[in-house]
Each structure stands twice: as C-alpha cells, then as structure tokens.
Amino acid sequence: MAYEAKQSIPFPLETVEWRWLAFEEQLDQGFLLNLRCLLVAMKGSELKQELVPLQAFGRKAKVDLVQTKHLLLADHLWHFHRNHLKDSLPGDSKALVGLDMGSSSTELVILSPHGLWSRSLPIGGDHFTKRLVKALQITYADAEQKKRSIVSEQDALMSELPVVVQDLQEEILRSIGYYKSLEPSTELCGFAFLGNGWKLPGLKETVCADFTTGELVTPSSGGNAEQELGSFLAEASGASFHHAVGAAMQRLGVGKHRINLFPDGVAFGTSKKSAWGIDIGTCGISAVRLVHA
C-alpha cells in the first residue's frame, strides 16, 4: 500500500498520518473478484495543532482515537442500519446513503458491505438561516429562531426556502449520479438523515422523492438502534451524537472501520475493563473536537 499511498497522497508520506483498510473480499466460486482498500490521510502538522488544546489538560483529557467524520458516520450507519444491507451479494450489492447535515456543509456517505464512498456538499443548516436573513431582513439570531419554529410544510416561512432546497437536491443528485457511474449495479436501498438540520419539515421526504428506489431510514426501520439505545437515545444519536456514538464503538473495538489516525495509535482502545468509563469521555471529546481529515 505504500506505493498506492505515494500515488494518491499529494504530500511526502513522512509529513502525514496515513492508514489503510481492506474491505471484505468479493469471491465467486472461490476466486477473488475484487479487493477494495480505503486510504485515509491527514497532514501531521494539522493533526498536532488540533491535539494541542486537549493535551494541555494532561491525563484528564487523554486522547487515544483520532478519526475522520466520514468513518464515524459510516460506523454509525453500519452498526445500527446494516440490516438494510443483509441481502447484498457480490456483483449485485446494496448500499445505504447517509446524509449528515452540519452548520456549513452536508457529508454524504454511501456504504455497502464491500466499499465506502464519501463526499462533502457545500450546503448546511446555516444556508437556510441565511436565506431567511436575506428574505426577511432580520438578524441571524432572529432567523435561526424562526427556522426552528417551523412545524409544518404549510408554514409561510417555507416559501422562502425552495432555492436552498433545490441547491441541496442538485448537489445530492450530482454526487449520487457520479457514484452510480462508478457502481452501476449497486442498488440504493435506503437513506439515513443525520444532524439537526434535517428537522426542517418535509426536507427529508423531498430529497428521497428524487429517487425511484430507497426508503427513508429511521432508528426503528429495520435497524437495531432502538433495541440497543432505547427510542429516545436512538433518535438523539441520529440527530446530534452520531459522531460520538461512532467514536465510542470504534474505541470499544466493535466498529467496522478500524482505523486510528492518532500518531502511533493502536486500532482499538485499552482493556475492556476500563473501556466504558473511558469511552464516556471519548464521546464528549469527539462531539466537540472532532478532527476532520
């Protein structure tokens, strides 16, 4: 993989932290059809800069896992919604689309048993707020409050947002269209919407309407989130804490994508005896100081 890393990473390898992961092999009558590998890298200088505030706390804020948000999102999807992929077969696989809306961008992850594809879309929750600021000539704080007060698609404020919705739809369609050109035989079996930005009434349904296949995935639709977390925590983890939940699962060694970008870091955490206590802290750190590659 060192050769592939040199070809793919536009920096000297000694200046970056890079890791790779092989996905499940696709076999046909015992013959290897395809072996896909995931390559993740981050500049060492940026990583050290992100770790400085946490390391200032010493042992009270011990960091032993650094992960990209795309892999944390993918682990959350895999752990709680992989039932949607259970009938996937080599050469005719199913994939789950995860859309994580933050304040300034939306992260798109397409996850299958044999691969992972991701892209950042330059539209997030702030764009809806800024649209209301411009349309209503009000302050950002007032616009944010009005946006959160929308309870139905018939609300008069929704008439000011179609431009942003259309831009987001186009970004998603363009990205998924490109993915389908790479994986024409893959069926999109479901769409999981994560992040508080998707609470805008009708937004999730509007995005799903652009596709002839794929259902709207919720914590109770074929996954095991409610059984493991309870209905309230399952909903909360999808809305706000999916990165932290993904980090906790990786830290406990139950994640699918076992990569750790921490310098000289191990793939998993410490012993199982202390894992739960430590992972509570890891969840909190992941939620507020997530390192983005």
SS3 of 99, please?
A: strand
* Region 235-262 average pLDDT: 73
Percent of the chain with pLDDT over 90: 23
What pLDDT score does 212 carry?
A: 60
SS3 of 185, please?
A: coil
For residue 117, give the H/E element and its range.
strand 115-121
- β-sheet bridge partners, residue 183: none
Higher-scoring residue by pLDDT: 173, 14 = 173
* Region 131-157 average pLDDT: 92
Helix-strand-coil split of the chain, %, nearest 5: 50, 20, 30
Give dist(CA 201, CA 180) in Å, integer: 28
Give dist(CA 20, CA 256) in Å, integer: 13
In 3D, which of 289, 282, 291, 293 has the Cα closest to residue 251? 282
For residue 74, give the H/E element and its range.
helix 69-81
- Residue 227 Cα distances to 139, 156, 234, angstroms: 42, 38, 9
Map out the domains of the chain with their CATH numbers.
Answer: 2-288 (3.30.420.40)
Higher-scoring residue by pLDDT: 89, 26 = 26
pLDDT higher than threshold 60 for residue 287 = no
Global pTM exceeds 0.85? no
For residue 97, give the H/E element and its range.
strand 94-101
What pLDDT score does 178 carry?
A: 94
How is residue 256 written in tokens? 């699918």
Highest mean pLDDT among 60-64, 119-123, 214-218, 259-263 belongs to: 119-123
Write out the E strands in 148-268: 187-194, 215-217
pLDDT higher than threshold 60 for residue 234 = no
Among 101-115, 169-183, 209-223, 279-293, the minimum mean pLDDT is found in 279-293
* Region 204-217 average pLDDT: 73
Higher-scoring residue by pLDDT: 232, 71 = 71
Q: pLDDT tens digits, residue range 251-260?
A: 777 777 777 7
What pLDDT score does 196 carry?
A: 87
pLDDT higher than threshold 70 for residue 193 = yes
Q: Are 35 and 22 in contact (CB under 8 A)?
A: yes
Per-residue pLDDT band at 125 (split at 50, 70, 90): very high
Q: What are phi and psi of 17, to 5 degrees?
A: -100, 120
Give dist(CA 128, CA 261) in Å, integer: 34
Give dist(CA 20, CA 130) in Å, integer: 39
Among 86-100, 245-259, 278-292, the minimum mean pLDDT is found in 278-292
- Residue 148 Cα distances to 156, 189, 190, 232, angstroms: 13, 30, 27, 20
Strands 215-217 and 16-22: unpaired
Name the one residue in this structure whose structure tokens are 């002839």. Answer: 212
